[in-house]
Amino acid sequence: MSEVRCVAPTGCLLGEGPLWSPSEGFLWWVDIKRAKLHRHNPRTGNTRRYDLPIHASALALADGGLIMIGDLEAGRYDTATEFYEPVCKLNEPYGFRTNDGGLAPDGSFWFGTMDDAETEPEGQYFRLLPDMSIERIGLPEVLVTNTMQFSPDGTTFYTCDSSEQMILAFDYDADTGGLSNRRVFASTLEAGCYPDGSAIDAEGYLWNAQWAGSRIVRYAPDGSIDCIVQMPVSRPTSCAFGGPDLKTLYITSARVGLSDAALDRQPMAGSLFAIDVETPGLSVQEFGHPRSV
């Protein structure tokens, strides 16, 4: 495994939602708080920033463009014309917004909502179906929804309420889309940090960004820690595999809420980072397209 390197010093307030586009060879991600979309080209090292009409929080590939969830809606974004078209809205309380998201084996886009002030534990889980309708997923309400990932064989769903400092696992029924057998997959309580976004590699190991922990942790399928990657910033937020061989792990980060003294100690907070790993990620799936398992 290589050393962690900063590939785009963007200074995002809340960088999130990294997504690799194999056809373009780009890494896309968002700055939720500033309503920005970022694009990094690893071939040239260039990074571009786009203004958005919503505070997008998670992305998925779709028909040469992007599916976005943000604020309390979902929509399509044309990366060529920079045109955003809202498609459907959520009926959630004022002050709530979407947060993390990821694709299920059937091609639906799973995501969560949360109170942006992080005071009301009433966040919900939803899925955006290929026909662009939204349905609620029957999971308990949470404070901060994060991690929406599935095991390579499609039988296990991973998620977390970051405030509880636990990564949870559920059995997933591909025929019904139902979840059962809730269990604690891993805890960050003793480490004093908070599980955030995750990525799954081809061996079924889960890589988790840990807010306030300055680290990325690779967990084995049984929940044991395989390795810990130390980060030069305290608030890594999420990660995604990219590169032509999917052996580059890209990591987003945040600077929101950090004091001036903390920012002096970590001037790269809010940047995009990368590490080269031995095990590749899963093939990048498109919205509405079932995954081969």
Residue 104 CA to residue 288 CA, distance in Å, equals 10
Distance in angstroms (rounded) separating the CA atoms of residues 96 and 37: 20
User: Is the torsion defined by CA of 51, 19, 181, 171 positive or negative?
Assistant: positive
CA–CA dist 229, 142 (Å, integer): 28
Is-catalytic flag, 260?
no
CA-based radius of gyration for the chain: 17
32/138 Cα distance (integer angstroms): 26
Q: Amino acid letter at 200?
A: I
Token readout for 99 is: 């947060």
Cα angle 29-114-217, degrees, rounded to a multiple of 5? 55
Nearest one of 51, 167, 182, 180 to 100, comparing CA atoms:
167
Buried/exposed 58-73: b ≥16 CB within 10 Å, e otherwise: bbbbbeebbbbbbbbb
Cα 6 to Cα 21: distance, rounded to the nearest angstrom: 20
Q: Which of 100, 196, 201, 276 is catalytic?
A: 196
Contact 253/14 with Cβ under 8 angstroms? no
* Angle ∠(254,207,286) on CA atoms, nearest 5: 85
SS3 content of the chain, % helix, strand, coil (to 5): 5, 55, 40
- Bridge partners of 189, per DSSP, are none
Query: Catalytic amino acids?
Result: 196
